[in-house]
A and B are shown apart, each in its own frame.
Chain A
Amino acid sequence: MSASWPPRRHLGHGAGIRVPHFDHALARGLAVDVVEVLSENYLAGGGRPAAVLERLRRDMPVVCHGVSLGLGSPDPPAAAHLARLRALFERIEPAWVGDHLCWGGFGGHHSHDLLPLPFTEAAISRLVDHIGRVQDALRRQLVLENVSSYVGFTASAMPEWEFVREVIERADALMLLDVNNVIVSAANFGFDPITYVEALPSDRIVQLHLANHSDRGHYKFDSHAGAVPAEVWSLYDHVARVHGPITTIVEWDEDIGDVEDLLAQRRIAVARERAIFGAEVGPWTN
């Protein structure tokens, strides 16, 4: 397949490493092109987490993905927390860093969840303001992920894909497109996932997430428990055809089994990308 894609760093295909993978990673490394770590797991800076991170960083590019910024919360992220994140990023020099397009706390308390926002101009303005503050504090452009949602707001004035695009472009941020989250939210709100992914700005997407979800009858839940399902793979193929080859991370957070199960999912992602673009498409880090 030949096409002209926007220039982007392609780090290859990797996996999100979680605590049950630590022993394997320390002893044998990880057979991937790139690894994604949850930033908050490494803030303390010592012990086995730090050793794992240092080992992986020696072997390959690392991307830091956070869950704690709550960028759409009424208050911006605390300076002390940003300082801790910045120290981590300066220590390991990740390829890029990011978090989610959501909110998470109020009045000094944290939900530790990725809470949904109404798709309004007010929410865009707040996100753009907070993202700007964080990018200034961290001295890095953020890579921001679309979240799975379960409740919508009557005040929403645009579809999610327009909201995401507006925030990413106005904040001059980059995007992590979570393919599974699109499938989950599409089921929960009744929109077409193809419409969603085709509306996103190709030149801003630098990373993809693949994961599993649970079918709870009247809704889908972003469980990350198990192998990537067929409909996620199918949308992944479509994203590749529309936006080109993109750094891809497979996530598996619940019911974590053998690390080989995770690596097998990553190999499927490699094979599917190569089936579309040919074997010459591989990791490059220009």
Chain B
Amino acid sequence: MDELTASQVLLWRAIRWPTGVADFLAQADDDTRAEFARTFAQTPAFDRAARVSVYAEAYFWRLHGVLVDHFPLLAALLGRPRFHNLVTDYVLACPPVDPDIRTYGARLAAFVAAHAVAETITDVAEVAALDWAMVQALDRPQTEPLGMADLAAVELSSWPELRLRTVESAALLPLHRDPQALFAMATGGESAPMGSARTALVWRAGFAVQTRVVTHDEARALTRLLGGARFVELCDDPGLDPPTVAGWIASWVADGVLAGR
């Protein structure tokens, strides 16, 4: 390893040490401490460990900041100390792999599912996934929504083969809490108790991300729609009939869930 890279690796190890630069040096062997002293300059008022610590602090708090911004529901559900501990564990286990910091939270839902906090809050990964789905919906490519006039123009004979599609931001997620209660918890400190299994639909209409709970039947139809099913396939369900499906389609059009053709 060349001298330049060696100095960078040393800085890299020091700023990512879990408990700070002072602890990094305390646990290091004599050779590492000597190399640290040989590599980094210092002044009487600002020693080299304190100087490197500026970067160590920035590393953690920058990642913490983006997760706070992207996971407000998870943060509210866990409360500040537990969220901070979760973030600390995540930063240690999952260092950023993408040059774009906005993708840093992509692995948090999967991480929290296997984290100790999931033993006491069993649906914590669902809440993290809801936060992340809303982040993703924010800047998905804009698709022109389907209008009622577009739908009315479809020939009756064409309906069975009609293949509708959702806007790119649409996603279905399992959830055991009312999303509106989660939002109230994040903004006003209300509680959002766990309830029965339900499905949340997340999508973006205009610039606003929308979330609502859908029934099990509607969730089945939406799952098929997201899979590219034709209208006749949407209706091919013992619990559904064409008028019901047509009613949902009307509501999806009204809400901007469906994309223009």
Contact = CB atoms under 8 A, between A and B. Distances in A.
A270 B92 CA distance: 46
A145 to B, nearest CB: 17
Interface stretch (A4-12, A110-118, A165-173): A110-118
Contacts of B137: 47
B207 A48 contact: yes
A41 B40 contact: no
A111 B13 CA distance: 11
Interface in A90-130: 103-106, 108-113, 115, 117-118, 120, 122-123, 126
Interface in A217-243: 218-219, 221
A110 B54 contact: no
Contacts of A219: 46, 51, 54
Contact of B140 (A47, A110, A154): A47
A151 B4 contact: no
Given A45-B141, A111-B15, A218 B45 contact: yes
Main secondary structure of the interface of B (DSSP, over half): helix
B183 interface: no
Contacts of A108: 97
A50 B139 CA distance: 8
A113 B60 CA distance: 10
Contacts of B45: 218
Nearest to B206: A48
Contacts of A70: 99
B48 A77 contact: no
Contacts of B102: 40-41, 44
B8 interface: yes
Contact of B138 (A47, A111, A123): A47
A151 B139 contact: no
A155 B3 CA distance: 9
Interface residues of A, number: 49
Among B4, B12, B207, the one with the most A-chain Cβ atoms within 10 Å of its Cβ is B4
Contacts, number: 128
B140 A44 contact: yes
Contacts of A152: 40-41, 51
Interface string B150-189: 0000000000000000001100000000000000000000
A154 B3 contact: no
Interface residues of B, number: 47
Contacts of A118: 4, 7
A43 B103 CA distance: 11
Nearest to B38: A154
A279 interface: no
A151 B55 contact: yes
B140 A46 contact: yes
A49 interface: yes
Nearest to B15: A111
Contact of A113 (B5, B43, B55, B140): B55
Contacts of B12: 106, 111
A58 interface: no
A154 B40 contact: yes
B9 interface: yes
Among B50, B55, B140, the one with the most A-chain Cβ atoms within 10 Å of its Cβ is B55
B22 interface: no
B38 A48 contact: no
B17 interface: no
Interface string A204-228: 0000000000000011010000000
B100 interface: yes
A51 B208 CA distance: 13
A73 B4 CA distance: 10
A106 B140 contact: no
A48 B5 contact: no
A113 B234 CA distance: 49
A74 B4 CA distance: 9
Contacts of A40: 99-102
A78 interface: yes
B65 to A, nearest CB: 10
B155 to A, nearest CB: 32
Nearest to B168: A46
30 contacts: A40-B100, A40-B102, A46-B139, A47-B138, A47-B139, A47-B207, A49-B139, A50-B141, A51-B142, A68-B100, A73-B8, A104-B99, A109-B95, A110-B95, A110-B96, A110-B98, A111-B16, A111-B59, A111-B96, A112-B96, A113-B58, A113-B62, A122-B4, A123-B4, A150-B51, A151-B40, A151-B51, A218-B46, A219-B46, A219-B54
Interface of B: 2-5, 7-9, 11-12, 15-16, 38-41, 43, 45-46, 48, 50-52, 54-55, 58-59, 62-63, 95-102, 104, 137-142, 168-169, 204, 207
Given A74-B5, A103-B8, 7 more contacts: A78-B99, A106-B8, A111-B12, A113-B62, A118-B7, A123-B4, A188-B51
Q: Which 10 residue pairs spanning A and B have beta carbons closest together?
A: A151-B51, A46-B141, A47-B139, A44-B139, A68-B99, A150-B54, A48-B207, A152-B41, A109-B95, A110-B96
